[in-house]
Chains A and B, each alone.
Chain A
């Protein structure tokens, strides 16, 4: 069975044998940093081409098909174009904040990557409050967006930032509550523990209907939190031209763009971890032989498969649904999702206390 765990142990052992512990740690930092950035770049390229292909498939057309085989290098070509472009700063803009904003959004996206378990024994930082960390850090990105909207000195941007602020702050509650409903089952905030607790089956199957409800709420709320259609009010193309990133160009725009895709990846990874077992293969109770066959599929394939399935789901939403209006968006959260997820949390707690789950 191929496993990434042996690889990481190998690297760590070698580093610790060759160098003093401090130097070894520094080397590990560098390796992790390079790997994270490489993952970002790769994810950006893959997700953009995936989005365009999914969109094309839904919209009965071919999509990019000129650059490389079946257009696979299209996003690489686009990246080159974006790097070559001049990053304009408008005259009336607050130059410092304007240029800082895309980096804040990007850094937040990078930080959230830390506790995610990509495969068995393969994560950057196995922190014991992993889920809390993710939900805390991810809410910082709204500051970057507000900054971008305010500093642009553009009314469309300001409106977009305003909408985005209201939207992200309110939908965070639903995300938090639906995440909590899984936490009460596992009793741990550690992402590794959460995955291991799904050894006998994923939570979405094990915890009856409340788990399904909180999964649906989670998907809706994270779609809103990542500003994706049908909740893309902050950049509503037909209303606010491009919302908070109207004034950005070149690489600064690309950072926003990339951060959006990274955020989608991260929320889908969290969703996959909590509800679909993360890197845990598909196990059914104590069917030992079945579980054993499933274990032959490498754990990182399970993780990426689940994550990309959820990403596909979110892309599917984007290309099918019209956009909500701003008051309807907030109504949906405060009048429907929040009460439902609260009641759902109580139900889930009851299930956890009584041990009714499988």
Chain B
């Protein structure tokens, strides 16, 4: 049976998983070839939510195009905006005030926690446990409230602008974040009790969807998915931006490379984000929240590339400028796109249930893949 895997034969069952399917969390379309319950091949078909953001950005100014990136990876909209703002700032050579840097990092980490919370709930739901989803949303909701108060939006914040952040923090911000931290610490043990320690869950995850270190590098997998395979790829550590080099946090690494390792990485990453927030929340420096920039931004001729660590991995923004007010060419290297490319590799030979578990731990956000 094993040598047949990868080849299709007559009598194989070909199933369309998606574009409307409960486990694909969006409009991902997978064509899977099955032999009984065993997966022989997984082929992703993309483009159901392709909006050609890259083309749209070519006719938007450097202030405008940032907003369209919130719609890519909507779960880490902040971090997408951050990457774009950083790229434009790199081109302009603007110095960002210290307060703005701290606010940005705080917001990034809150977004990361919110994103991982949602992933945790959704992944447990993929495995058939419905309850964790609601428990995750309990904490995520309080982050959304914090976002709403300061940024005015709960999902697509559009809070980062070239030069800093759009408005100053809400006076309530620190208190709310502190009460969130308190809530989180009270509740985080429930996550382990409800899901991590469950014997069925562990059997579903351990040894499933194994991604070796070499394969992870070769497929360009980044973020928690790659760190579960032991690839050190946290941009915050490797190529620090903003004030990440002054902060005390660890890059979470696991070596097993299976779904369970990826799961553990994300859970522990939430704790690292909490650590970062705790370091910063009482030390927000006074001062401007935005550097003085011109009303119409013009980037010099050249190419600018900036990458950040989103909740899903490495997001790169590549701007080619001809010196005008709009980018000549813009490319978003989205983490989901590369993470998806390894799906076939890690699921071949597994069962349908394994496909769902592996897909859950890759944490795919479809608009991020299609852009």
A residues engaging B (CB < 8 A)? 55, 58-61, 155-156, 159, 163, 229-230, 232, 236-241, 319-328
Contacts and interface: CB of A to CB of B under 8 A. Distances in A.
Contacts of A237: 22, 128
A230 B353 CA distance: 13
A241 B128 contact: no
14 contacts: A60-B138, A163-B37, A230-B128, A238-B128, A321-B198, A322-B124, A322-B200, A323-B200, A324-B203, A324-B353, A325-B204, A326-B351, A328-B200, A328-B204
Which 8 A/B pairs are nearest by Cβ-Cβ distance?
A323-B128, A322-B127, A325-B353, A59-B134, A322-B129, A238-B23, A238-B126, A322-B128
Between B128, B129, B353, the greatest number of chain A beta carbons within 10 A of the residue's beta carbon is seen for B128
Majority secondary structure of chain B interface residues (helix, strand, loop or mixed): helix
A324 B198 CA distance: 11
Contacts of B342: none
Interface in B324-353: 351-353
Contacts of A58: 131
Nearest to B125: A238
Contacts of B129: 319-323
Contacts of A321: 128-129, 198, 200
B130 A55 contact: yes
A323 B351 contact: no
B13 interface: yes
A159 B352 contact: yes
A331 B11 CA distance: 26
B138 A156 contact: no
B237 interface: no
Contact of B204 (A60, A155, A324): A324
B15 interface: yes
Nearest to B133: A59
A321 to B, nearest CB: 6
Contacts of A155: 13, 15
Interface string B232-275: 00000000000000000000000000000000000000000000
Given A321-B198, A325-B351, A325-B354, A238 B127 contact: yes
Contact of B130 (A59, A60, A239, A324): A59
Interface of B: 13, 15, 21-23, 34, 37, 124-131, 133-135, 138, 194-195, 198, 200-201, 203-204, 351-354, 356
Contact of B135 (A60, A326, A328): A60
A171 to B, nearest CB: 16
A237 B21 CA distance: 9
A326 B125 CA distance: 17
B191 to A, nearest CB: 14
A59 B131 contact: yes
A166 to B, nearest CB: 10
Contacts of B34: 159
B356 A322 contact: no
Contacts of A55: 130
Given A156-B15, A324-B200, A326-B351, 17 more contacts: A55-B130, A59-B135, A60-B135, A155-B13, A155-B15, A232-B128, A238-B126, A239-B356, A320-B131, A322-B198, A322-B201, A323-B200, A323-B204, A324-B204, A325-B354, A327-B37, A327-B351
Nearest to A232: B128
B134 A61 contact: yes
Between A60, A240, A322, the greatest number of chain B beta carbons within 10 A of the residue's beta carbon is seen for A322
B316 to A, nearest CB: 32
Contact of A60 (B21, B124, B134, B354): B134
Nearest to A59: B134
A323 B135 CA distance: 18
Between A55, A239, A321, the greatest number of chain B beta carbons within 10 A of the residue's beta carbon is seen for A239
Given A239-B23, A321-B198, A321-B200, A326 B353 contact: yes
Contacts of B124: 322
A56 to B, nearest CB: 9
A322 to B, nearest CB: 4
A322 B201 CA distance: 6
A230 B37 CA distance: 18
A166 B130 CA distance: 25
Contact of B195 (A60, A240, A322, A325): A322
B358 to A, nearest CB: 12
Nearest to A58: B131
A322 B206 CA distance: 14
Contact of A238 (B131, B138, B354, B356): B356
Given A325-B353, A327-B351, A241 B127 contact: no
Between B37, B194, B203, the greatest number of chain A beta carbons within 10 A of the residue's beta carbon is seen for B37
B264 to A, nearest CB: 16
A230 B200 contact: yes
A324 B124 CA distance: 12
A236 B37 contact: no
A326 B37 contact: yes
B129 to A, nearest CB: 4
A208 B247 CA distance: 60
A153 to B, nearest CB: 13
B37 A241 contact: no
Nearest to B195: A322
A59 B201 CA distance: 18
Contacts of A239: 23, 352-353, 356
Contacts of B22: 237-238, 241
A323 B130 contact: no
Between B21, B126, B353, the greatest number of chain A beta carbons within 10 A of the residue's beta carbon is seen for B353
Nearest to A325: B353
Contact of A322 (B23, B138, B204): B204
Contacts of B356: 238-239
Contacts of B194: 320
A232 B126 CA distance: 13
Contacts of A232: 128
B22 to A, nearest CB: 5
A334 to B, nearest CB: 16
Nearest to B34: A159
B347 to A, nearest CB: 13
Contacts of A322: 124, 127-129, 195, 198, 200-201, 204
Contacts of A319: 129-131
Nearest to A323: B128
B262 to A, nearest CB: 16
A51 B129 CA distance: 15
A55 B129 CA distance: 11
A239 B195 CA distance: 19
